[in-house]
C-alpha cells in the first residue's frame, strides 16, 4: 500500500516538472521568435501603424517617408488660413508662412513605437495591432517669424489708437472752445490669433477660418470729462502807456508767441524757447532794456521782460507751478515789487519756466488793447471754487549810496565841463515778501509765502565832461541844448577869423 502511494507521488512530481519544462521551452521559443522579428524588422514599422490615416505597416523609414510625401503635398494644397476681421478678409497659404507637413517627426514616432525595449510587450502590442489601428498625426508646422510678419500686416491695417476728447482752442474767436469728441481704438492681438491657429492645427484642421473680433480700446478722456475744464483761471495785464513804439512792438511780438498755446498736463514751458532769441531777423526792434549793471541800453527786443512779467503773474494766479524765475536788479513800475520776471538770452541766459501741474490742459490767450498787454489762462479751476490772489509786502527800505562820479576822459558819454551823463540811476533797495493768498469767496482760507526777495540798492554812476567849450551856450538850464558840435565850433571859429581880418 505504501509503495503504491510513493510511486504515485513520484509520477506526479515528474509530470509537473515536465509541464514546467514545456512552458519554459514555449516561452523561450516565443522570446526567440520575437527577438528574430526584432532583428529582422529593426528598421520597419509594425503592422497596424498609420500616419494621417495612411497605412505604413511593414515599411522601412525610406519607403514610409516616400509614401507620405505625396500625400503631404495633397494636404498642403488643401491647406488655407482665412482671417475675417472688421469686414475684411485675409487668406494665408503654406508658402506665406513656410508651412509643411512634418513627415519626419511622424515617421520617427512610428519607428519608436516599433522598437519598444520590452520585447514581450512589443510582441503583445504587435498581436493587438493586427486588429487595432494606431494612427499617428503628422502635424502641420510653420515658421513662426513668417506668420508674425503676415499677422503684423493685418494688425497695421486693423489697429487704430483711441482718440481722447479735447477742446479745439481758437483764442481770438468769441467762442474759444469747441469740443472734439473721443473715438474708440482697435487692437488686433497677434498672440491671441496665433493661439487660435495652433488650437485648430491640433485638431488636424487644414482649412482654418477665424472670425476674429479685435479688442476695443477705450479713450482715457471723454467729452463728459472735459465739462468745466476750460474755465478762466487767471487774467492779468500790464500797462504800456509811455512806452516807445518800438518797445510796444517788442512786447506784443513776444506775447503773440503764447497766444493759442495749449499746455498739456506735466508739460514745462520755457519763455526763451517759446519766444526765441530777440533778433532783428525775428522781427524785434531796438528799445531800452535793463542791463546786468542796472544801466539802460537800446537793444533788439528791449521790453520783452514786461511780456515775461505779465505771463509770470498770470501763471501764479492760475495756480500753475513756477519752475524757474528771476528778478530785475531793481523793482519795475508795471508790476508790484517782487512780482517781476527778468528774461535774457543768449548771455547771460535768464529764463522763466512754468509747469502745468493740473490733470487737464491749460490754454493761453494773449492780446493787446487800450495800451495794455493781456494774458488769460483757461483750464481746470481750483477745488471748491477757490481763487488765488497775490500780495507783495515791502518790510524794509534801504537807501541808495551816493552816486559815483567818473570823468569821461574819452568823451564817450559827455565832453564838456558843466555837463554830465547819468549812466546808472541811483535807486533805493528794498526787501519784499510775496504771498499767494487762497480765497473761498471773500474769505481768506490760506496764505502761503512764495519767497522773500531782496532788491539791493543801486549805486548811481554819473559821467562828467572835462573839455572846456570855446564859448558858453546861451541856455542856462543845465541841458546841452545849444551846445555846438565840433563841426559847428569849427565853422564859428572860421567865420570869426574872416570877419576880424575884413
Task: Yes or no: say if 162 and 182 are a contact pair by the CB < 8 Å rule.
Answer: yes
**In the predicted model, what is the mean pLDDT of residues 434-440?**
97
| φ and ψ at residue 39, rounded to 5 degrees | -70, -45
| pLDDT score for 62 | 85
Integer Cα distance of 393 and 387 in angstroms: 20
**In the predicted model, what is the mean pLDDT of residues 337-350?**
96
Q: Is the pLDDT of residue 480 over 80?
A: no
Q: Is the pLDDT of residue 9 over 80?
A: no
Reading the block at residue 251, the C-alpha cell is 512786447
- Counting beta carbons within 10 angstroms of the beta carbon of residue 325, is it exposed (0 to 12), middle (13 to 18) or buried (19 or more)? buried
The architecture that CATH gives domain 384-468 is Single Sheet (2.20)
| pLDDT score for 110 | 83
| pLDDT score for 492 | 36
Candidates 271, 141, 147, 158; CA nearest to 214 is 158
Task: Yes or no: say if 390 and 425 are a contact pair by the CB < 8 Å rule.
Answer: no
| pLDDT score for 365 | 98
Provide the percentage of residues in the chain whose pLDDT is more than 90. 65
| pLDDT score for 113 | 85
Task: Yes or no: say if 152 and 190 are a contact pair by the CB < 8 Å rule.
Answer: yes
Q: Is the pLDDT of residue 6 over 60?
A: no
Q: Is the pLDDT of residue 463 over 90?
A: yes
When mean pLDDT is compared across 7-16, 285-294, 359-368, the lowest value belongs to 7-16
Q: Give DSSP secondary structure letters for 389-408.
A: EEEEEEEEEEPPPPPEEEE-
Question: 3-class secondary structure for 484-502?
Answer: CCHHHHHHHHHHHHHHHHC
pLDDT category at 499 given cuts 50, 70, 90 is very low
DSSP 137: P
pLDDT category at 317 given cuts 50, 70, 90 is very high
**In the predicted model, what is the mean pLDDT of residues 80-109?**
89
When mean pLDDT is compared across 32-36, 153-157, 287-291, 389-393, the lowest value belongs to 32-36
| φ and ψ at residue 479, rounded to 5 degrees | -90, 170
| pTM for the predicted model, two decimal places | 0.71
Q: Which residue ranges make up each domain of the chain?
A: 41-170+182-221, 228-381, 384-468
Amino acid at each position: 500500500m505504501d509503495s503504491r502511494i510513493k510511486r504515485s507521488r513520484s509520477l506526479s512530481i515528474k509530470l509537473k516538472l515536465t509541464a514546467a519544462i514545456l512552458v519554459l521551452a514555449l516561452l523561450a521559443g516565443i522570446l526567440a521568435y520575437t527577438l528574430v522579428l526584432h532583428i529582422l524588422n529593426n528598421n520597419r514599422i509594425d503592422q497596424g501603424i498609420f500616419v494621417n490615416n495612411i497605412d505604413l505597416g511593414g515599411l522601412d523609414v525610406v519607403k514610409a517617408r516616400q509614401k507620405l510625401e505625396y500625400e503631404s503635398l495633397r494636404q498642403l494644397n488643401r491647406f488655407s488660413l482665412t482671417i475675417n476681421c472688421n469686414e475684411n478678409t485675409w487668406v494665408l497659404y503654406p508658402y506665406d508662412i513656410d508651412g509643411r507637413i512634418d513627415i519626419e517627426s511622424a515617421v520617427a514616432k512610428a519607428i519608436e513605437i516599433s522598437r519598444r525595449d520590452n520585447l514581450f510587450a512589443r510582441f503583445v502590442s504587435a498581436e493587438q495591432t493586427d486588429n487595432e489601428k494606431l494612427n499617428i498625426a503628422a502635424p502641420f508646422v510653420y515658421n513662426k517669424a513668417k506668420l508674425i510678419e503676415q499677422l503684423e500686416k493685418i494688425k497695421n491695417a486693423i489697429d487704430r489708437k483711441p482718440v481722447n476728447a479735447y477742446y479745439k482752442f481758437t483764442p481770438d474767436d468769441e467762442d474759444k472752445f469747441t469740443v472734439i469728441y473721443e473715438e474708440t481704438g482697435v487692437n488686433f492681438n497677434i498672440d491671441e490669433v496665433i493661439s487660435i491657429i495652433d488650437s485648430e492645427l491640433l485638431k488636424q484642421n487644414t482649412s482654418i477660418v477665424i472670425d476674429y473680433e479685435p479688442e476695443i480700446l477705450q479713450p482715457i478722456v471723454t467729452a463728459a470729462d472735459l465739462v468745466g475744464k476750460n474755465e478762466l483761471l487767471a487774467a492779468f495785464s500790464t500797462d504800456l502807456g509811455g512806452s516807445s513804439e518800438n518797445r510796444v512792438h517788442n512786447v506784443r511780438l513776444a506775447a503773440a508767441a503764447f497766444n493759442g498755446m495749449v499746455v498739456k498736463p506735466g508739460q514745462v514751458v520755457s519763455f526763451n524757447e517759446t519766444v526765441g532769441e530777440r533778433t532783428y531777423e525775428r522781427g524785434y526792434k531796438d528799445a531800452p532794456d535793463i542791463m546786468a549793471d542796472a544801466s539802460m541800453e537800446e537793444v533788439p527786443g528791449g521790453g520783452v521782460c514786461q511780456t515775461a512779467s505779465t505771463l509770470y503773474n498770470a501763471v501764479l494766479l492760475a495756480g500753475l507751478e513756477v519752475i524757474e524765475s528771476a528778478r530785475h536788479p531793481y523793482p519795475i513800475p508795471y508790476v508790484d515789487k517782487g512780482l517781476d520776471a527778468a528774461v535774457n538770452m543768449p548771455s547771460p541766459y535768464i529764463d522763466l519756466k512754468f509747469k502745468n501741474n493740473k490733470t487737464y490742459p491749460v490754454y493761453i490767450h494773449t492780446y493787446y488793447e487800450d495800451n495794455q498787454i493781456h494774458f488769460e489762462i483757461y483750464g481746470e479751476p481750483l477745488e471748491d471754487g477757490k481763487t488765488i490772489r497775490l500780495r507783495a509786502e515791502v518790510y524794509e527800505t534801504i537807501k541808495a549810496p551816493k552816486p559815483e562820479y567818473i570823468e569821461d576822459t574819452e568823451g564817450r558819454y559827455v565832453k564838456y565841463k558843466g555837463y554830465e551823463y547819468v549812466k546808472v540811476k541811483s535807486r533805493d533797495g528794498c526787501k519784499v515778501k510775496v504771498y499767494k493768498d487762497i480765497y473761498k469767496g471773500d474769505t481768506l482760507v490760506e496764505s502761503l509765502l512764495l519767497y522773500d526777495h531782496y532788491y539791493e540798492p543801486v549805486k548811481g554812476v554819473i559821467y562828467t565832461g572835462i573839455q572846456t567849450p570855446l564859448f558858453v551856450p546861451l541856455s542856462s538850464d543845465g541841458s546841452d541844448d545849444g551846445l555846438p558840435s565840433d563841426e559847428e565850433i569849427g565853422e564859428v571859429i572860421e567865420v570869426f577869423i574872416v570877419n576880424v581880418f575884413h
